[in-house]
Amino acid sequence: MSSKRKAQEAFGTPQGSSVGCEHAKVPSSESEGEGSSSPSSATSTPAVQFSTYSTRSVLGSKDSGFCVRLSPDECVVAVGVYDLWLKTGVVTVNGAVIRPKSGPHRVYCPGTHALPRIVARGRDAIVVLDSCDNELEKLEPMSPIFHNLWKHWEAPGSFRLLDNARHDDLVRPLHTLEVDKPTEFALDKLSAPHARANGRPYRIMAVGAKSSGKSTFNRLLCNTLLSRNSVTKVQYLDLDPGQPEFGPPGIVSLVEITAPILGPPFTHPASAQPTKYKVLRSHAIAATSFKDDSAHYVACVHDLLRRASNKHPLVINTCGWLSGLGASVLVELCSLLKPTNVVLLEPIDAGLAAQLQEVATDGTIFERLSRQPRHASMRTPAEARNMQMMSYFHSRHVRANQEQRWSGKPLSAVRAWIVKYGGPDAGIQAVLSYGQAPSLEFLAEVLDGAIVALVTIDREHEAEAYNLPRDNTKDDHEDNAGGAASPTMPPLEQHLRRSPEGLPYLGSDHIGCSTPLHPTHSACIGLAIVRAIDPITKEIHLITPLPDRLLAPLATTRQPLALVRGSFDHPDWAYLEELQSKAHHLHEDGYYDDDYYSKDDLRRCKEELEDVKGRPWVSKAARAGIEGAVWRLRHPPMPAGGR
């Protein structure tokens, strides 16, 4: 087999300095008035009213922000990112009740999602919107999926106030988050102080098809619960591996929430550190769907449920797959989770609703909510997953009271975590492949450049974690490269097969499926991209956002670690980040910015953009028209039966 170039080459040569990002500018008074439409917005787009405050209520408008007095039920809407302060009164935003002296609340309002409305409740409220550094803008130069999310780049400040849809400088199909009366009533009922069943808080499970508003409802519910004085924490059972709320796709998790959720999923990646959104435990499904192994998925849910506390409300986010296997698993989860409340979001099949009611406990209350209006989406589901994955890999460790931060470096400039997979000091015990697995001789090729899950193993229950058979013998076809198994070998070593590069592979046969890890004795701590595999030193280079403090004990045998590959979306965006970033800062007229690159850097940049033959999986395909050429991904060859 011909040798394949490594993923390290696809990422490009690591750079010594990160790609910078211009700080967000501050707003001017022109942003707040009743405003005239820009020439580009003077179209047939209907003038849907967003903000309803009067210009006479504006108390302050300067470079650093905006202050307005809202009468009851008046609202203000903006696109971008801002810090929300409240001087007097009470307002609601995304279902969260904001009161004075509660500190600033960072609100993310990208144009790809429904814009939140800041609404005064009960009496007049004085609201302050401050501009802030939009850390997520650092990702825009590296990927087109982050283009045109916020305000126009020439507009001052980090946000743009909108009186109506025509005030958007980028002429996008914007819409606001509208909550109808039945939904408001259901949220109030579920978050009432007496909302307890048999002495424990509610377990609330929302059920709905894709695009039914299930994720939005769950965010509103969490925010409404946290607004009650009696609730300090909400636990969130994130069971949708395709569209998770807090983690990267392919993961199911239990998350502890202590602050309102004021942005879409890619704006608040949770971590194991004590932050606003803390991951208590997570498991790798290694796919955006559980179709390949629903039994393992249910086992992971069962383990997460065991870790949930009965002292706090539990909000359960389920999948939007409501037919066939998806419906069967949902009914099984309803029986397992024993929710006190099930919210059915229309449209939903009558037969499925009847099955859920049949398996639910006698005290379970069912609520039905009508279908919400659907709006055109600016991103496909695959692009939304890529945004969430890219946000995860660029997220940076922050302390408990800090706002989330992101790195503006392409992943080619990120220092890799190097860990041994062979020898007495090996940090990686085994490599597993969920779903259809590749042949042993192709393992390194398939791993190279792929996303893998980092899974820690309970040392005291190692055999149970790997689901090893009770007799520690190997089949004839599973002999190690070094000879037959010895009765004195550790149980795991007797079942490992070594690839030509020495990778420790735990599989059922040469092209079969690996038995998944037992969720009771293992836990996923994060994801990584395999940057390179060194067969000489028996080391693997991983790119991961996990902090060094968490990685240090994993580099040796002090904490057993397994790598799990599966059907994660291929990280095409990662290979193109450096090229996209350079192209973003290199204009056709030859203009360049010294803050980003020197003249020599720009010369080399031009050469790289013209010739990408040295980069595996990346090719330049010419096309007709003024837009020129585009980059495409060349995927590595896969063995028969592999993925």
What is the DSSP secondary-structure string of 591-634?
A: ---TTT--HHHHHHHHHHHH--TTSTTEEEE--SSTT--EEEE-
The pLDDT of residue 14 is above 50: no
Rounded CA-CA distance 91/89 in Å is: 7
Q: pLDDT tens, 426-451?
A: 889 999 999 888 888 999 999 999 99
Q: Which amino acid is at 109?
A: C
Domain locations in the chain? Answer: 29-178+379-406, 181-369, 411-565
How confident is the model at residue 13, as a pLDDT? 47
Rounded CA-CA distance 92/71 in Å is: 13
CATH code of the domain occupying 181-369:
3.40.50.300
How confident is the model at residue 32, as a pLDDT? 38
Strands (E), 210-276: 234-238, 251-257
pTM for this model (two decimals): 0.85
The pLDDT of residue 169 is above 70: yes
Q: Which amino acid is at 367?
A: E
Return the half-sphere exposure (C-beta side, CA atoms, 13 A cut-off) of residue 175: 12
How confident is the model at residue 362, as a pLDDT? 80
Highest mean pLDDT among 9-18, 352-361, 371-380, 606-615: 352-361
- Of 307, 285, 281, the closest CA to residue 296 belongs to 285
Rounded CA-CA distance 522/513 in Å is: 19
What integer is the mean pLDDT of 462-488?
59
Highest mean pLDDT among 151-160, 444-453, 492-501: 444-453
What integer is the mean pLDDT of 247-251?
95
What integer is the mean pLDDT of 47-59?
87
In eight-state DSSP terms, residue 637 is P
Paired with 529 in beta bridges are 451, 543
How confident is the model at residue 326, as a pLDDT? 94
What integer is the mean pLDDT of 631-641?
52
What integer is the mean pLDDT of 200-207?
87
How confident is the model at residue 372, as a pLDDT? 79
> Residues 564, 566, 569, 575: is their CA dihedral positive or negative?
positive
What integer is the mean pLDDT of 209-236?
92
What integer is the mean pLDDT of 578-597?
63
Rounded CA-CA distance 371/211 in Å is: 10
Q: pLDDT tens, 373-409?
A: 778 788 999 999 999 999 999 999 887 778 899 999 9
- Of 602, 529, 404, 367, the closest CA to residue 11 belongs to 529
When pLDDT is cut at 50, 70 and 90, the band that residue 546 belongs to is very high
Percent of the chain at pLDDT exceeding 90: 55
Q: Are 177 and 117 in contact (CB under 8 A)?
A: yes
Measured at the CA of 180, the angle between CA 178 and CA 184, to 5 degrees, comes to 110
The pLDDT of residue 416 is above 90: yes
How confident is the model at residue 494, as a pLDDT? 83
Rounded CA-CA distance 393/358 in Å is: 42
Highest mean pLDDT among 7-16, 356-365, 525-534: 525-534
How confident is the model at residue 46, as a pLDDT? 56
- Of 305, 284, 171, the closest CA to residue 236 belongs to 305
Residue 350, helix vs strand vs coil: helix
How confident is the model at residue 218, as a pLDDT? 96
- 325-329, 393-397, 422-426: least confidently modelled range: 422-426
- 100-104, 310-314, 555-559, 570-574: least confidently modelled range: 555-559
- Residue bearing tokens 């590959």: 565
- 10-19, 264-273, 298-307, 608-617: least confidently modelled range: 10-19
How confident is the model at residue 473, as a pLDDT? 43
The rounded mean pLDDT for the chain is 82
Q: What are phi and psi of 452, to 5 degrees?
A: -130, 155
